[in-house]
Structure 1
Amino acid sequence: MADDAAERRPRRRPSIRLRIVAAAVAVVTAALGVGAATLVWTLERMLQASVAEQLADELDALAQGIDEGTIQTAALVQRDDDVLVALRSPTGVVVNTDAAAALPVPEGRAPMTATVDGERFVVVAAEAEAGTIVVARSLASVDDAARSATALLAVAVPLAVILVATVVWIVVDRALAHVDRMRAQVDDIDATGLDRRIEASSRGDELDRLAATMNRMLDRIEADARSRRRFVSDASHELRSPLASMRQFAELARAHPDAVAPGELSEVVLHEGERMHGIVEALLLLARLDERGRGKLQPVDLDGLALEELERTRALGLAVDGAALRAAPVEGDPRLLARATRNLVDNALRHARERVALGSVVRDGRAMLWVDDDGAGVPIEDRERVFERFVRLDEGRARDDGGSGLGLAIVRQVARTHGGDAWVTGAPLGGARFVLELPAAPEPRGA
């Protein structure tokens, strides 16, 4: 079992610091190695070409001297052996040293390299009247220079690699030190310290941008935690109120049976239970919207949803004006959009004095549905807060009418889930106008 657990456990990889330094050392070593080899090869070829050029000039002088008679054959034999000379003629071969007799004859004027008695030579040849003149010069000095350069680079390249590795290690260590500091700061943040933030160095580099990103994430986490705590507190309060009402009435009925009319207890329980049911349903809907968002998109007519609400409210004996309704096609979840529309209408009916009006339109690619009332309206300073969960500007009337403070929060969440928004402004009737705005459905091709 322990062996199986060890096999399943992921192997620990080297640290980022070590991987970066290793990668830098590998790249620098490869680059310097190739550069050093190229340098030695180029140096050797350049020196060899220089020797060949000098030897070619000396060959031309010998050939000219022999042709003009200024250099005799005997003089060739007496030349120093720093340059090997061989004159090959039909009568024989004349050399200035025995090693010259082993020199090959190059084809044409191109120089060639040859090894004689274990030593490398550059060999050139030219045709003269007396025969073929072959001259050669040792490449010992060139080989010595190449070996010296190789030895020097064999020391310099490792030193350069060590220097680069040291510098990269220091730079990466300093950079990751900020990351370690940020990690430690984030690791110390718990549920009781969500107001703490990551310190930035004010250099404006990538680490500062990372710190800013993490701080924005912490802002969202703090706001979400604060909203969750407020949400739980408000939900507990909202659910405790109907429970308390039912308990108090039940205790009163048990203590004083004669004081409670028959059926009154059941009526209270049904009424408060309906309130609790509405709160729980709204909470579950908001939770689903937060978690999964909308369902499958389907064509929906906002004006059609508004007309259904007109028929519902008129069936209740209420007068609602729908003269401003115009075609407003969108794509969305019909069930959610119908719930948002009903919430807007119910909110207007709850706060209107006498009149409610509905309208819809498509303008600049946006479909809008609005509901007006002639109530007291919403103060400017509360027009954003009214869409928060469990916010009721008129506490007494909202509780009496069964409002939970979740209807408008659902409207905004549904709108934003569909890529739109919801807001409130003043209405021509004198009260509030609540607007549901969504992206309009694209027009069919060829329309």
Structure 2
Amino acid sequence: MTMSSIRARITLGASLIVAVVLVIGAALFLWTLDRTLTSSLADTAERSAEALASGLDEDDGRIAEADDDDLVQLLDEDGTVLAANDEAAGLPAITDPDRDERTIEVDDDRYVVVTASAEDGVLALGVPLDEVEDSVAATRGLLFVAVPLLVLVVAGVTWTTVGRSLRPVETMRSDVSGIGASDLARRVEVPPGRDEIPRLARTMNAMLERLEASARQQRQFVSDASHELRSPIASMRQSAEVLQRHPSADLDLPATVLAETDRLDGLVSAMLVLARSDEHGLALRRQPVDVDDLVLAETTRLRAAGLEVDGSAIAPARIDADRRLLGQVVRNLADNAARHARTAVAFSVSEGDGRATITVDDDGDGIAAADRERVFGRFVRLDEGRARDAGGSGLGLAIVAEVVRAHGGRVGIDDSPLGGARFTVQLPVHPPETPAP
């Protein structure tokens, strides 16, 4: 829907509302005017009837003192016409003797009828409503012209006002339509004021900032992934070329290919997990999981690799979680600790206050406070002990952060009592309930 159509719809709607209100108001005004003028004329007629009744002179059923346009009758208590003027001659009783006021129609002419007590009965006086009808008709004619003019004025004012109000929106629409994927750094101009239009502009700018950050992150991710994928491919190619040129060289090509293939497989799997997280969040298949069993399995694996592993602080803990993803979290933390430990790694598991807590300690160089947030980024390696030849892809801790967040938990880094880094993961025992729609 274009701004012109919105402008036209608002103008039409406002004009229709004003037209309906004016028509109803005009009808009420005309009705009130008719009632008011009729009531005023009836008051005047009552005084005239009283004056006529006090000096009534009727001769052979004829009343001669009344005005020619009025209807005058002398009625007895039963409503029988005893006398009348020439205008009312031959007419039945124009009112009841005990009725104060009424409106009648005689030969397409309207009259207001009042009564007054006379010596021989009740005097009924009908005064024509011609002047009242003329006044109402004149007012009706004025309103017939004024109401459409007022509607046109309101339509013009609404059209101008709405156009002026929507002009900043049209400017923003034009600016946004010209922003492409290559110039997400552009922003729309925020008009002055504190109403909805400036707030809309600020919301659009915030959205553009998020889009720019997402695009920048995506480009960085593609660049880093390309660099990571090139390394194992180059290693396999180099080994194959050496053997091709020097068949007698002491190189185990199958072992190199298998090792690099495992590295590629782990890298691709990690990128798929992060891609799913970015697209629509991780789909969790929750089930009861014994966290201590997962951690004990890692202690056994690291001991087999020749490390000194302390698992004495592992206590039973069960939570509702995705077993596969939670196992990947524990595996990544264990591999990270093993990669940077000098000789010792320690695990602990505990449960309390509705949360299960996993801690992994190592006696390596530790992580500086300034790097403890950055280390959870993608393809991030710290300078010390995190070179590519150490085996890490820079995605393990990023996966830990995403999976823990998807489970409603949190992960943090502190100094370890062993001298290195301590990773602490806290996960809710039961997932938060989803509110009913």
Q: Which amino acid aligns with 1:181?
A: T
Return the alpha-carbon distance in structure 1 between the equivalents of residues 56 and 88 of structure 2.
21
Counterpart among 42, 57, 65 of residue 72 in structure 1? 57
Q: Deviations over 1:384-433 (max 9, x none)?
A: 11111111114765422311001001001111222233222222222111
Counterpart among 319, 325, 331 of residue 336 in structure 1? 325
Further displaced range: 47-56 or 307-316: 307-316
Q: Which amino acid aligns with 1:192?
A: S
Return the alpha-carbon distance in structure 2 between the equivalents of residues 223 and 136 of structure 1.
88
Whether the 8 Å contact between 1:21 and 1:169 is mirrored in structure 2 is yes
* 2:79 equivalent to 1:118: no
After superposition, the Cα gap between the structure-2 partners of 1:270 and 1:355, relative to the gap in structure 1 and judged at 3 Å, is same
Q: Counterpart of 1:390 in 2: which secondary structure?
A: coil
* 2:250 equivalent to 1:265: no
Return the alpha-carbon distance in structure 2 between the equivalents of residues 303 and 53 of structure 1.
101
User: How many residues of Structure 1 are paired with residues of Structure 2 in the alignment?
Assistant: 427
Q: Which amino acid aligns with 2:268?
A: V
Across the aligned residues of Structure 1 and Structure 2, the Cα RMSD in angstroms comes to 2.7
Return the alpha-carbon distance in structure 1 between the equivalents of residues 81 and 247 of structure 2.
151
Whether the 8 Å contact between 1:99 and 1:117 is mirrored in structure 2 is no
Return the alpha-carbon distance in structure 1 between the equivalents of residues 103 and 176 of structure 2.
70
Q: Deviations over 1:102-138 (max 9, x none)?
A: 3643233242111223321001234544123110111
Can you give the 5+ residue segments of structure 2 that lack an aligned partner in the other structure?
Answer: 433-437
Whether the 8 Å contact between 1:377 and 1:432 is mirrored in structure 2 is yes
Whether the 8 Å contact between 1:370 and 1:434 is mirrored in structure 2 is yes
Q: Which amino acid aligns with 1:278?
A: G
Which residue of the partner structure matches residue 72 of structure 2?
85
* 2:228 equivalent to 1:238: yes
Which residue of the partner structure matches residue 140 of structure 1?
130
After superposition, the Cα gap between the structure-2 partners of 1:120 and 1:391, relative to the gap in structure 1 and judged at 3 Å, is same
State the Cα distance separating 1:256 from its structure 2 match.
2.0
Which residue of the partner structure matches residue 388 of structure 2?
399
Q: Report the identity percentage.
A: 49
Q: Which amino acid aligns with 2:378?
A: R
After superposition, the Cα gap between the structure-2 partners of 1:161 and 1:235, relative to the gap in structure 1 and judged at 3 Å, is same
After superposition, the Cα gap between the structure-2 partners of 1:216 and 1:439, relative to the gap in structure 1 and judged at 3 Å, is farther
Counterpart among 103, 106, 110 of residue 95 in structure 2? 106
Further displaced range: 420-429 or 277-286: 420-429
Q: Which amino acid aligns with 2:426?
A: E
Q: Counterpart of 1:102 in 2: which secondary structure?
A: coil
Whether the 8 Å contact between 2:50 and 2:117 is mirrored in structure 1 is no
Which residue of the partner structure matches residue 429 of structure 1?
418
Which residue of the partner structure matches residue 3 of structure 1?
none
Further displaced range: 365-374 or 376-385: 365-374
Can you give the 5+ residue segments of structure 1 that lack an aligned partner in the other structure?
Answer: 1-10
Return the alpha-carbon distance in structure 2 between the equivalents of residues 58 and 30 of structure 1.
42
After superposition, the Cα gap between the structure-2 partners of 1:301 and 1:168, relative to the gap in structure 1 and judged at 3 Å, is farther
Which residue of the partner structure matches residue 166 of structure 2?
176
Q: Which amino acid aligns with 1:111?
A: E
Which residue of the partner structure matches residue 85 of structure 2?
96
Which residue of the partner structure matches residue 7 of structure 1?
none
Return the alpha-carbon distance in structure 2 between the equivalents of residues 146 and 103 of structure 1.
29
Counterpart among 386, 390, 409 of residue 379 in structure 2? 390
After superposition, the Cα gap between the structure-2 partners of 1:240 and 1:324, relative to the gap in structure 1 and judged at 3 Å, is same
* 2:339 equivalent to 1:353: no
Whether the 8 Å contact between 1:294 and 1:332 is mirrored in structure 2 is no
Which residue of the partner structure matches residue 435 of structure 2?
none
Whether the 8 Å contact between 1:105 and 1:124 is mirrored in structure 2 is no
State the Cα distance separating 1:37 from its structure 2 match.
0.8
Alignment of 1:177-256 (within 5 A): 177-256=167-246
